[in-house]
Structure 1
């Protein structure tokens, strides 16, 4: 059994930060569960271009407000507590936070732990591993 506390993980190398977000990666590839699980904070007033070409992701909003815009069709979806959005087609999108948002995120295949978006909004398939 694996047991971790978010408060402890936030004080470790499992916490990864960019200009627009920070993500605490609670479950990673080296845990051998077949997916990864993260609690991610999107900072208020930001817009993040994301295009997970190598991963599928499900995102559940715990708190805060924002929107996600899919770039293929320009559709905008409101994100608020209780909303889940699922990037089942490697959807290229813009994530905007009107308020700070706390999100629970699941990735398949799982992340190694140190991934950040490249210039195209992509996470690499393999990145540095977190212990």
Structure 2
């Protein structure tokens, strides 16, 4: 059994901060679960282009407000407590922070290693196999 506390991630290499968000990566590839599990805070008034070409993601909004917009069709979805969205088609999208910090719980498949940040196209890279 794996038991972790998100507070134990704060201030470690598994807490990643950018200008737009802060992500606490709690369960990672090394944990062997087949997915990764994160607590992320989207900062108010920010806009992040995301296009997970190599991962599927499900997001559960816990508190705060924001918006997700799918680029292909321009549809906008309000985000707030209780809303879940799943990027089941590698959806190219904008994630926008609202007036309050948006706290979300995210699940990624395949799992992240923990150090990923979006590249210029909004993509997380595929982990490269380690040389033997």
- TM-score for both structures, normalised by structure 1: 0.95
Q: CA RMSD in A?
A: 0.8
Q: Which residue pairs with 2:94 in the alignment? A: 94
Cα-to-partner distance string for 1:48-93 (whole Å, 9 max, x where unaligned): 0000000000000000001000000000000000000000000000
Q: Secondary structure at the match of 1:78?
A: strand
- The number of residues matched between the two structures is 127
What SS does structure 1 have at the residue aligned with 2:37? Answer: strand
Q: Which residue of 2 aligns with 1:125?
A: 126
Deviation at 1:13, TM superposition (A): 1.2
Q: Unaligned stretches of 5+ in structure 1?
A: none
Stretches of structure 2 lacking an aligned partner (at least 5 in a row): none
Name the SS for the 1:30 alignment partner.
Answer: helix
TM, length-normalised to structure 2: 0.94
Q: Structure 1 residue runs of 4+, over 6 Å off?
A: none
Deviates more, 1:68-77 or 1:11-20: 11-20
Distance in 2 of aligned mates of 1:66 and 1:102: 10
Look up the match of 1:50: 50
Match of 2:117 in 1: 116
